[in-house]
Chain A
């Protein structure tokens, strides 16, 4: 398509950031340029964190806003007239997809890789939004699930960004907290 065709409003659908649209099943079903497909989303969680497709099989995925993907477990709707369906899940339409803190807290317990477990003191610093040196991490760079030991098990706290021996906390400001260190 030439630029002038696009300007004439040719039939190419584009992403309307104000409404929810269901993700296409596969890349071949894609009609809106740049929109991720359900298959790619499921693949991404499996490849990045080892969260099996069976964990997310029953959910539907929707885009609202540029690249913001939502996860929903209810019956599908006419998406144009609702404020929210399910919860925010994943940020796409950028080179490195980024899971949301709440998605990691909700589904991160199923992860088998790219999970960094912090001790009590580091866990509190991470939740407070502090970046910290972590040269001992020898796994992948990029977005990691950060977890800690609590009440007889582990629990995901949120998303960390690992670059150059440093673990950055990307816990959103509204979800940060200064909590006392709890020794296991």
Chain B
């Protein structure tokens, strides 16, 4: 079966949803503020005759209609990073500040880690973890190309991540950009639809719950945890949040994203979820002509402690 069929009851316009999923995605690059401003990137693109369009909702993100995001001087200088529009959302939701201690639990290949470092002005500490050593080398390459100096790279299972190697015992913010079924990337990689199975959904949901739980535990009271995936499956989104609400001291908070989104769903396949999961954002491909995505923001419970 095509897994997109099962999400038709969730979307407002089935035909537009299916049509968008069938279209390839444009190349998109994000400006790396550690090395350049959006104006300088634009100027360099213009001088080189590289076609580029602003995405409209963010002045540092450009669509490149002719593709080849790596074939230009801004890329060679590490001024830009090829990154799909929706992939830029979780770091914006996380909203890290210079000096923060941040955990990126599933960090490879580093698009979000490097964006987090950029938002921190490369000051403070971002701990980029991934359990896959091979994918960590891609992360290292990207971090060096973009000139990130405030990242620590670790190779642990995020579900029982140890802060022992670190100079502190809690994070201010954590991002769980979880491994998932990835149907939201079907415009880039249609194979994900062929390879999709319900067994995998249930298996990976267990991993997601374990990682989100650990992220909440490793973040200080009053701190922020962002949970994101590129799947439409409620089993991997709202159900994972519902599990965290039931087992950990945390709440889902309202937040704005600069794109058109739909709220999280409270019912799916005979299950019901806590009402606050509607504060999560579902991003459907037909709403903004992007990939598909899910993003929610949590506040870790307890009184805020200053450090």
Binding site for B on A (CB under 8 A): 59, 71-88, 100, 102, 105-106, 127, 150-153, 155, 157, 174-175, 177, 179-180, 182-184
Contact = CB atoms under 8 A, between A and B. Distances in A.
B191 interface: no
Contacts, number: 111
Given A75-B168, A81-B165, A151 B150 contact: no
Contact of A76 (B77, B124, B167): B167
B166 A150 contact: no
A84 B153 contact: yes
B235 to A, nearest CB: 32
Category for how many chain B residues contact A: 35 or more
B68 to A, nearest CB: 11
Contacts of A85: 151-153
Contacts of A102: 78, 144-145, 147
A81 B129 CA distance: 12
Contacts of B141: 174
Contact of B166 (A75, A80, A87, A155): A75
B47 interface: yes
B140 interface: yes
Given A75-B125, A106-B34, A174-B141, 18 more contacts: A59-B149, A72-B150, A74-B126, A77-B165, A80-B165, A84-B140, A84-B152, A105-B77, A151-B40, A152-B43, A157-B77, A177-B70, A179-B71, A179-B72, A182-B44, A182-B47, A182-B48, A183-B47
Contacts of A175: 76, 145
B118 interface: no
Contact of A150 (B47, B149, B167): B47
B147 A177 contact: no
Nearest to B148: A87
A71 B295 CA distance: 33
A85 B167 CA distance: 13
A83 B134 CA distance: 12
A77 B127 CA distance: 11
Contacts of A71: 149
Contacts of A78: 164-166
B151 A86 contact: yes
Nearest to A107: B147
Contacts of B168: 75
A73 B168 CA distance: 15
By Cβ-Cβ distance, the 8 closest A-B pairs, closest first, are A74-B125, A106-B147, A84-B153, A151-B43, A81-B165, A75-B167, A151-B44, A73-B149
A83 B77 CA distance: 25
A130 to B, nearest CB: 15
14 contacts: A71-B149, A72-B149, A73-B122, A74-B124, A76-B167, A77-B165, A78-B165, A81-B165, A82-B152, A85-B151, A87-B143, A105-B78, A151-B41, A179-B72
A171 to B, nearest CB: 9
A157 B40 CA distance: 16
Given A73-B123, A151-B43, A84 B145 contact: no
Contacts of A74: 124-126, 149-152
Interface string B214-237: 000000000000000000000000
A83 B107 CA distance: 13
A182 B133 CA distance: 38
Nearest to B123: A73
Contacts of A106: 34-35, 78, 147, 149
